[in-house]
Amino acid sequence: MSIEDYGAIDEGSESGSQSSEISEKYKAAAKKAGAGIKRTQKDEKKAKKYDFLLAKFLVEMILKKKYDELLDELFACLDAGYGTNFLLGILSLIYLPISNEIRKTNGKTEIDFHYEPTTSPIGFDDHALDPQIRERVNKWIEDMESVVALEVSSIITKRTLWLILYDEKVRVFTSKVFTFFFTELNISITESKSLSYSEFILWELEKSLKKNMPELQEKWTREGLEI
């Protein structure tokens, strides 16, 4: 998936039409998770190293006042139970140290982004984005798609998927991060356009998560992780 794939988002999308089926699926998953509480605790214990990584980057960002406007939405997502790596993936667009950590873990080269903002503000135009900006956004989307493979538990991944489907907080958070990125580049983007991109990216990520769940479960089994 890339920014070039962005198009009009149909309000009656596939996600909505499958809501009943997905609801039943996750009721069963929740029941299974409740019965396997000890297993979940093991998974959460293994996930602590990623929580510490998020805490490290949060401290760095909190010390920089310019990120203050994003903290309320980030903390709301944390309270809702989103996976740590997933939230790191969203933040990676605006904080390269996070992006480089994700890419290093996945064996990819670090991002080299040196776009010089114009002196005067310009409006966002998805058909005329500077190639550097387009590549940066595409790599961000790529990292968000791969970052879920870093989770240590299918329970955490399934919970994140459920939240993407039914929770509004992550849409607001992703939209704010998207807007922040362009504002830093002296590019103005409307709230509706930013939210539209947020919806599109999360919809694509939802499809990627569902598609890759069997592969991720095999990976966790090979590595001796609890599923």
Tens-place pLDDT, residues 194-212: 999 888 888 887 777 777 6
Task: Determine the pLDDT at residue 37.
Answer: 41
- Smallest CA-to-CA distance from 53 within 29, 89, 25 is with 89
Asked whether residue 1 is assigned to any structural domain, the reply reads no
Q: Is 8 part of a structural domain of the chain?
A: no
Q: Does residue 7 fall inside a structural domain? A: no
DSSP 140-185: HHHHHHHHGGG-S-HHHHHHHHHHHHH-SHHHHHHHHHHHHHHHHT
pLDDT digits (tens, 9 = 90+) for 170-194: 999 999 999 999 999 999 999 999 9
Domains contained in the chain, number:
1
Q: For residue 188, what are the β-bridge partners?
A: 123
Which three-class secondary structure state does DSSP give residue 108? coil
Gap between the Cα atoms of 135 and 2, Å rounded: 9
Query: From CA 208, how far away is CA 126, in angstroms rounded?
Result: 23
Please name the helix (run of DSSP H) or strand (run of DSSP E) that holds residue 92, with its range, or none: none
Is 46 within the bounds of a domain?
yes
Residues spanned by the domain of 91: 19-114+122-222
Give the pLDDT confidence score for residue 219 in this predicted structure: 54
Amino acid at 79: D
128-135 average pLDDT score: 92
